[in-house]
Structure 1
Amino acid sequence: MIERLPPDPRMIALPTELRNAIAQALNTVPETRWLNAARALSEQYRNLQSADAAPIVRTRLDALGYAALLMPATYAQLYGAMHAAAALVPSWQPKTMLDMGSGPGTALWAAIVCWQSLHDLTAWEREPMLIALGRDLARASANPALRHAHWVQRNLSAPIERGITFDLVVLGHVLGEIPPEERGAVVTSAWRMARGMLLIVEPGTPGGFSVVRAARDRLLADGAVTIAPCAHNLPCPLNDDWCHFPQRLRRPEFQRRARGAPSPWEDAKYSYAALARFPPERPIWGRVILEPSFNKAYAEVLISSRDGIVRHRALKRDRDAFRWVKHLEWGQTLEEKP
């Protein structure tokens, strides 16, 4: 039974084709087996000794557990970052894309929603079981670019031949899962291949933000231009805090079962940086980086802006200003200073 939720403009769901394809793949094995695989994977992630020691997907069952447990929220995070970047360069129409460390192709599914101009997709992935599952899922898509995506088994630390370029290059949930000493070289290689935009997405945790921040600093030094989320090309002004954003997701039933989560939705939180070889078409003054708070006296919001980190407060007696701050959304852009 599908639980009916009230309309929410912030809510997204997995594409129907992807949701059905995952459900069909899970139906090829007894439910207890993929549930156990998902729970074992969840336990491995909880017990990681370091952020760069992600569990290895060795079997088809491991891959199914990954799809049930992690793919929906990862899709939401990638979609949220892509949607935010695309909004600031509306006339940019990328045609080719490379997804580095693709897993089962989650970023490919999100990208074809946000950039319908894409017609040539390439996925690099180390684990053959994730490649096999990614190909199976892609066959369910009506999008020819996704159905005919080029899958390559590849370790990102391997040398990359020069001359390979793509309009869009994505590093989604990748940098945080490789040794810190290898991240700089991967970012440099990704930027060299990106003739348009490089998008980096990590979980919305202090550790994930730290990885994104370091990559952004490196790319700015190489001449990249920030598209999102920042309103500037200066070093991040945050101190003792981390920048992250939520993407509300309607959970598919198999994810709810894999997580043992009764709620029909979640806010999948992510940190990201979209950098390009061109400036944004819609320059912004700032972006809301935390959900507004309010009490009986005032409403307050935290904004990352061209003027630095701004804590904007509106007194309740100024009804219009109070209401405006109260109804701002986390992640919303502001074209002018309030």
Structure 2
Amino acid sequence: MIRIPSKLVEAIRQNVSDSETVNAAQLRANYQSNKDHQGMYDTYLMSRMPATYAAISRVLQEIPLDANVETVLDIGSGPGTGLWAVRERFDTLESYVGLEGDQGFISLAERLNTSISEHVVAWMPGRYPKGLPNIKADLVLMSYTVGENSPETVAKTIDHVWAHNVSEWLVVIEPGTPKGFKSILEIRAYITANGGNIYAPCKGNYNCPLIGQDWCHFSVRLERSQLQKKIKDATLPYEDEKFSYLIVRNTPVALCEESSRIIKKPMVRPGHITLDLCNESGYERKTVSKSQKETYRTAKKVEWGDSL
């Protein structure tokens, strides 16, 4: 389970207008009206920022700690959620640039991130692809932003990002829906045709075995703060965020022939565990019985999204 950093929880609390009286119905109405007012930003902070933080954090766990990520470009950075996730993962971080077309989100990001100013942080107003800078970064992040744009805009954006921005890592995260997965597949196809190396969730540039059968998505559980439970009128101490993702790197990926990705929640039954696995050979449903002692012990520990 992902726990939201206490500094972020406190920063959200301090930046939500009248957080003691606002309620979930009011927040939903504010968000659905899609107007540029404080209520919309309050809604995003309370209902989406924690969940997107959890998804970004989970995906970044796939990148090794020794990757030496020093510079980050966050495209469609919103209130700077990616900055919080990146700094929690990589203590090598030195500078972060967030590109965001909504000035309200930029102002909010500046307020939220005053408590983590030990890094060089810059916020750039601009929409993509026209506003994309020509700067290289060790890691380029695009989270929950591709699906908000037309295929033509996405194609131009990825073309620019891959040619002018990515030094080593590109991370794309979308909602865990068929539409989100479709966006991931389109980017995946472009990247493999232009010299990129798929790092995760696949370990290689082979054709996705799930095309036409299912959509590849994962889930992360995040702990709800007391303020979240109050705002959402929720009793459960957690919530689940579904997401699809792609990690690409410039350096060729060392393939492991036996590496598989668990693409659904393991089904635990008396005496056996069933795992849905995906690898270069295709999709496989594997049952591990208790009699397979070592394998069974391993299967008991794995979760949806893990490699096996």
Residue by residue over 1:225-268, the C-alpha shift from the partner in whole angstroms, topping out at 9 and shown as x without a partner, is 01111122112110421111222211122222333322111222
1:1-338 to structure 2, matched below 5 A, reads 11-26=1-16, 28-29=17-18, 31-33=20-22, 35=24, 37-41=26-30, 44=32, 56=34, 58-84=36-62, 86-87=63-64, 90-141=65-116, 143-145=117-119, 148-158=120-130, 160=132, 163-192=134-163, 193-238=165-210, 239-280=212-253, 283=256, 285-295=259-269, 298-315=272-289, 317-318=291-292, 320-334=294-308
- State the TM-score, normalized to the length of structure 1: 0.83
Q: Is the 8 A contact 1:100 1:124 kept in 2?
A: yes
Shift of 1:72: 0.4
Question: For the structure 1 residues 36 and 114, does the alpha-carbon distance in structure 2 shift closer, same or farther, using more than 3 Å as the test?
Answer: same
Task: Look up the equivalent residue of 1:124 and give its one-letter code.
Answer: L
> Residue 216 of structure 2: SS of its match in structure 1?
coil
Task: Look up the equivalent residue of 2:239 and give its one-letter code.
Answer: E
Question: For the structure 1 residues 105 and 327, does the alpha-carbon distance in structure 2 shift closer, same or farther, using more than 3 Å as the test?
Answer: same
Residue by residue over 1:273-325, the C-alpha shift from the partner in whole angstroms, topping out at 9 and shown as x without a partner, is 00010134684611111122244574321111132222222345545544543
Question: For the structure 1 residues 93 and 323, does the alpha-carbon distance in structure 2 shift closer, same or farther, using more than 3 Å as the test?
Answer: closer
> Residue 251 of structure 2: SS of its match in structure 1?
coil
Bigger shift: residues 114-123 or 58-67: 58-67
Q: Give distance in 1, aligned partners of 2:291 and 2:103.
A: 61
Task: Look up the equivalent residue of 1:126 and give its one-letter code.
Answer: G
Bigger shift: residues 274-283 or 299-308: 274-283
Q: Is the 8 A contact 1:244 1:272 kept in 2?
A: yes
Q: Give distance in 2, aligned partners of 1:270 and 1:256.
A: 22
Question: For the structure 1 residues 294 and 165, does the alpha-carbon distance in structure 2 shift closer, same or farther, using more than 3 Å as the test?
Answer: same
Q: CA RMSD in A?
A: 2.3
Residue by residue over 1:212-233, the C-alpha shift from the partner in whole angstroms, topping out at 9 and shown as x without a partner, is 1211111111111011111221
Q: Is the 8 A contact 1:247 1:267 kept in 2?
A: yes
- State the TM-score, normalized to the length of structure 2: 0.90
Q: Is the 8 A contact 1:95 1:120 kept in 2?
A: yes
Q: Is the 8 A contact 1:231 1:304 kept in 2?
A: no
Shift of 1:112: 0.8
Q: Is the 8 A contact 2:129 2:160 kept in 1?
A: no
Task: Look up the equivalent residue of 1:165 and give its one-letter code.
Answer: K
> Residue 66 of structure 2: SS of its match in structure 1?
coil
Q: Is the 8 A contact 1:58 1:127 kept in 2?
A: no
Shift of 1:66: 0.9
Q: Is the 8 A contact 2:209 2:280 kept in 1?
A: no
Q: Give distance in 1, aligned partners of 2:83 and 2:275.
A: 34
Q: Give distance in 2, aligned partners of 1:19 and 1:277.
A: 35
Task: Look up the equivalent residue of 2:214 and give its one-letter code.
Answer: D
Question: 5+ residue gaps in structure 2?
Answer: none
Residue by residue over 1:100-145, the C-alpha shift from the partner in whole angstroms, topping out at 9 and shown as x without a partner, is 011100011101111221111100111111111110000022x511
> Residue 61 of structure 2: SS of its match in structure 1?
helix
Shift of 1:31: 3.6
Q: Is the 8 A contact 1:39 1:258 kept in 2?
A: no
Q: Give distance in 1, aligned partners of 2:30 and 2:251.
A: 40
Shift of 1:165: 1.4
Q: Give distance in 1, aligned partners of 2:95 and 2:130.
A: 23
Identity of aligned residues (%): 30
